A and B are shown apart, each in its own frame.
Chain A
């Protein structure tokens, strides 16, 4: 133990408990939020080590959480699920726009609190200057990536190039490793990635391709120094817990100065340590962020300004009008041909939107082939892990469905004309069903993930909410087709409204109820797989993790599991439904 650490421990041991009794109540645990930079799993391990070290220093339980993306991390901060966040610069600026942020520390790498962004191309390519990239394609990281989008795009804009027209194709690679791999494979001409200082010639392209065979990459353009990642908390949290924030800050600095602490930090994006930061350092990022946001808004409106697209549109209208006249003609033969032509024109116009890259089409097949080759042999080591996640997915779907069914049934009954006499209640219940149904499962999932943080609960919640609307509508539509005869008979027997429902409607409805609920469960299992992609737990989350880490052998196992699961469910549920019908 270094003398400094002993001193700090002593300071905290005396300071914190006293404060806890006085005005500053401590949260039961502190959550450190990280954004996945490379492989989410290795990052989680290193983040856990840092959390453990920090916890020992401040005597408060510390947990590390790796969020799915920058936006989730910022939202988790805002909702108070993450107390301290390790933020790259542009999410920091994004957070500043949304709520009060206090920046505590800036990350030091290679002895500097700054880093760089570079546009990289293949060493063997013809590109010598940025201008050469005109008409080419580029891989960005994602719209909130500082070095992989905001800064390089801002620099291009400042040089007078509008990226939307300058490049013929832009893609988001998601991760820096995926971006450099895409360039290496020739899928895109260039990528925007993080870089070490210009003189060293190293960066994402040397790091992630170090152990990969194939062409090397070289930088084409460097950015000015960009401030490194920040450790930040919210203004609210900083105001409520001033001493805690101060001790976390000083402990993190101390970790960077201790031997073992430094070893942990090295594994976290090659961090050497932290220095106190100054918010003004981030001005470059703020400007760039603002510029790229404005540019996106402008680019979205300019579609019909282009005279060529107007001409195409006019030609299409003329074709459609001519063919439309043919459809209205009296001669059946002309009618048939015109209808066929109209359909062809409409299909062609719709296909333009898909922007099928005719020239790259076959090349794309080759890349898919390469992807498929990468999937074999399947990585058997993850079979247990995948099976566990599969079972979890089924459990989430089951809970979501079962929780949703009673509410769906209630809404269904309240919406059905032959059950609920009040038109007002019926309309209100139907409106609730339709409102619910108009929001896609995935969107509900995204909203819940941002509110509760990634995990199993948002997945279950999204499935339950989705089940209420979709099943509710199915229920009332079926209920209204029930034979009114038994209902009338029950009324004649002197049954009250609820008794009529019980004996006149329910026995008829039961088989439909069972089969529809079963089918909904089946759909919810598939839904649960997809929900994994937005951060709900389960097999989808695993798929996402493996894809991002380019671990295609593991992806194979996931795909096999999903296919088996869906087919097994289909077989079981169709058998069951046949029996109840």
Chain B
């Protein structure tokens, strides 16, 4: 089986010398739901951002499907980024626009540059956008400006936006951190259902271990930019959790 997301020796050193990612390699097959655990600053966000090149990795390669994201430039890079749907902790919606308008923007990579620039969406785009909003249970809020929605509703709009992108992979960076536990479970379930139904790999950074255990097929632990754990969710022992959340060895970045 070919991996739907493949990371090869991804490394990220920030301009101030901090090592964000230290030689991370990971293969995620289609339809798998991976929860990434780790302390704050362990490199979880950097991993997802380097994988989709929202942040430029220092070295290493990233593939989504058969496309090498790290090799693209210019318009091709934009197209490559469009392959990964991204859900952010702070939703990152255009607050003055309605739910539908926000979701429609996700169709940008399916249209010509000019259409995407002026927002001349096709009837098909409208159809997709409405269906995705329906999928997250917001068909009644289609024409409501996002700024007047609750936090949970806003995150569902953001999820619908990622769906409407028709991505080959779904990345979610702490999608539940700003939500109460019930809403968090709803959002994670939506992401999981989408991944299973479409055969799309889902990589989610989470804080809550119970959520990881309950929804994830597989759990990856990061510490100081390195993969310190990788195994099925069912096999996650308390010792493994303790190891993931243990203070990183101080000398680790300077090892080589």
Cβ contacts A to B, 6 pairs, < 8 Å: A491-B54, A492-B54, A493-B109, A499-B108, A502-B119, A503-B94
The interface residues of chain A, by DSSP majority, are classed as helix
Q: Does A214 contact B (CB under 8 A)?
A: no
- Cβ of A494 and Cβ of B54 under 8 Å apart? no
Interface size on B, residues (CB 8 A): 33
- Cβ of A488 and Cβ of B54 under 8 Å apart? yes
Q: Does B59 contact A (CB under 8 A)?
A: no
Q: Does A486 contact B (CB under 8 A)?
A: yes
- Chain B 69-95, CB-CB to A under 8 Å as 1, else 0, gives 000000100111111111010111111
Known: A503-B105, A508-B94. A492 touches B84 (CB 8 A): yes
Ranked nearest first, the 6 interchain pairs of A and B with the lowest CB-CB distance are A494-B82, A485-B92, A494-B109, A492-B86, A489-B92, A494-B78
Chain A residues within 8 Å of B88, by CB: 485, 488-489
Residues in B lying within 8 Å of A, measured CB to CB: 52, 54, 75, 78-86, 88, 90-97, 105-106, 108-109, 113, 116-119, 158, 161, 165
Shortest distance between the CB of B57 and any CB in chain A (Å): 15
| Neighbour of A493 across the interface among B82, B113, B117, B119, CB < 8 A | B82
Known: A502-B117, A507-B96, A508-B96. A495 touches B90 (CB 8 A): no
Known: A486-B92, A503-B94, A508-B96. A496 touches B86 (CB 8 A): no
Chain A residues within 8 Å of B52, by CB: 492
Shortest distance between the CB of A479 and any CB in chain B (Å): 15
The interface residues of chain B, by DSSP majority, are classed as mixed
Shortest distance between the CB of A316 and any CB in chain B (Å): 49
C-alpha gap A504/B54 in the complex (Å): 14
Q: Does A490 contact B (CB under 8 A)?
A: yes
- Cβ of B94 and Cβ of A499 under 8 Å apart? no
A510 to B, closest residue via Cβ: B96
- Cβ of B94 and Cβ of A491 under 8 Å apart? no
- Which of A492, A495, A502, A507 has most B Cβ within 10 Å? A492
| Neighbour of B94 across the interface among A494, A498, A507, CB < 8 A | A507
Chain A residues within 8 Å of B85, by CB: 492
Chain A residues within 8 Å of B96, by CB: 507-508, 510-511
Shortest distance between the CB of B158 and any CB in chain A (Å): 8
- Cβ of A499 and Cβ of B165 under 8 Å apart? no
Shortest distance between the CB of B88 and any CB in chain A (Å): 6
- Which of B94, B97, B106 has most A Cβ within 10 Å? B94
| Neighbour of A499 across the interface among B93, B97, B116, B161, CB < 8 A | B116
- Cβ of A494 and Cβ of B105 under 8 Å apart? no
Shortest distance between the CB of A27 and any CB in chain B (Å): 49
C-alpha gap A490/B102 in the complex (Å): 10
- Cβ of A496 and Cβ of B92 under 8 Å apart? no
- Chain A 459-490, CB-CB to B under 8 Å as 1, else 0, gives 00000000000000000000000000110111
- Cβ of A486 and Cβ of B94 under 8 Å apart? yes
Chain A residues within 8 Å of B79, by CB: 494
Shortest distance between the CB of A422 and any CB in chain B (Å): 15
- Cβ of B117 and Cβ of A499 under 8 Å apart? yes
Shortest distance between the CB of B117 and any CB in chain A (Å): 5
A498 to B, closest residue via Cβ: B117
Shortest distance between the CB of B255 and any CB in chain A (Å): 32
C-alpha gap A503/B78 in the complex (Å): 15
C-alpha gap A493/B83 in the complex (Å): 8
- Chain A 507-526, CB-CB to B under 8 Å as 1, else 0, gives 11011000000000000000
Further contacts, 17 of them, CB under 8 A, given A491-B54, A493-B108: A486-B94, A489-B88, A489-B161, A492-B54, A492-B84, A494-B79, A494-B81, A495-B78, A495-B109, A496-B78, A499-B113, A499-B116, A502-B117, A504-B94, A507-B97, A510-B96, A511-B96
